[in-house]
Amino acid sequence: MTQKYLHTSDVAKAAGCHPNTVRLYEAWGFLPPVQRTKSGYRQFTEAHADCMVLARMAFRGPWPGRAIRRSIVALVKQAAAGDLGGALEAAYAHLAVVQAERAHAESAVRLLERWAQGASADATRAPLRIGETAKLLGVSVDVLRNWERNGLLNVPRDPDNGYRYYGAAEISRLRVIRMLIRAGYSIMAILRMLLQLDGGTADDLRQAIDTPAPDEDVYSAADRWLSALAEQEQRAMDIIGHLEMMIGKQNR
């Protein structure tokens, strides 16, 4: 059977993008090598179109976190290299990465909800100075000052010398903040939630930390982290389905 070749515009149409994007993805190694005619025209095939759809599926929108970015780039390049079985394995591994990130984010929210309901997150008795608190939490003094400067907490000071003193309440709050940040939430998202909590509303904190206000500038996926991870999990499942379809075509 004569091989049917596609134009750049055909591949772009299949993936819902501009022809220049197809050329860029080819240059970046996200598509299999492309043969050219003697006159220099690219000769794309259906396999190239399928890889282009896969790449667009993977790269449309922001990547929430470096680990997720690394795994998605690796599996797309593996598919482009012709190892569809390896790419499918990598896609399941990618799904596990996303699910682990999501589990971490959910655990942090559960700690937040328990703390907001009155459960203490620390048992420190004597107040600590900033250096002692930083050592206890495994962060730098500059990090603690930055969190305070960004409005995440107010730290009482000794009226005689002006030194900050962190009691059990402040350290509990810091533990919650630290876990949320380590789970991927942005400072803006945490501040949004804490302002609601400090205003006397302890309900729907999960929604508050995940829902930017209408007038709020959203700079990253971390500003709506739970939703971003849920979307990434669905995207991973879609990628798995697309790779299974590609493997099925080759096995016909």
pLDDT in tens, 193-204: 999 999 998 888
* CA neighbor of 72 nearest in space, from 59, 89, 56, 85: 59
Q: Does residue 187 belong to any structural domain of this protein? A: yes
Percent of the chain with pLDDT over 90: 74
Q: Does residue 207 belong to any structural domain of this protein? A: yes
Same domain, 39 and 129: no
Instruction: Give the pLDDT confidence score for residue 120 in this predicted structure.
Output: 86
Same domain, 216 and 121: yes
If DSSP codes are grouped into helix, strand and coil, which group holds residue 59?
Answer: helix
Q: Does residue 230 belong to any structural domain of this protein? A: no
Q: Does residue 120 belong to any structural domain of this protein? A: yes
Structure confidence at residue 61 as a pLDDT band (50, 70, 90): confident
| Residue labelled with tokens 């220049």 | 20
Same domain, 213 and 137: yes
Structure confidence at residue 55 as a pLDDT band (50, 70, 90): very high
**Stretch 164-179: mean pLDDT:** 94
Checking if the pLDDT of 4 tops 90, the result is no
Same domain, 53 and 117: no
Same domain, 127 and 196: yes
Whichever domain contains 146, its CATH number is 1.10.1660.10
Q: Does residue 83 belong to any structural domain of this protein? A: no
In sequence order, which residues have a C-beta less than 8 Å from that of residue 207 and are 6 or more positions away?
A: none
Instruction: Give the pLDDT confidence score for residue 142 in this predicted structure.
Output: 97
Domain boundary among the residues 21, 40, 60 is at 60
Give this prediction's pTM.
0.85
Domain that holds residue 11: 1-60
Same domain, 125 and 216: yes
Of 50-59, 63-72, 168-177, 239-248, where does mean pLDDT reach its minimum? 63-72
Round to whole Å and give the CA distance between 99 and 96: 5
Let me know: does 50 contact 246? Beta carbons within 8 Å.
yes
Same domain, 27 and 123: no
Round to whole Å and give the CA distance between 15 and 22: 9
Structure confidence at residue 82 as a pLDDT band (50, 70, 90): very high
Q: Does residue 9 belong to any structural domain of this protein? A: yes
Instruction: Give the pLDDT confidence score for residue 218 in this predicted structure.
Output: 67
Of 110-114, 202-206, 216-220, where does mean pLDDT reach its minimum? 216-220
Same domain, 134 and 198: yes
Q: How many domains does the chain have?
A: 2
Average pLDDT, the chain: 91
Same domain, 128 and 34: no
Same domain, 151 and 50: no
Instruction: Give the pLDDT confidence score for residue 2 in this predicted structure.
Output: 60
> What is the H or E stretch that residue 10 is in?
helix 8-15
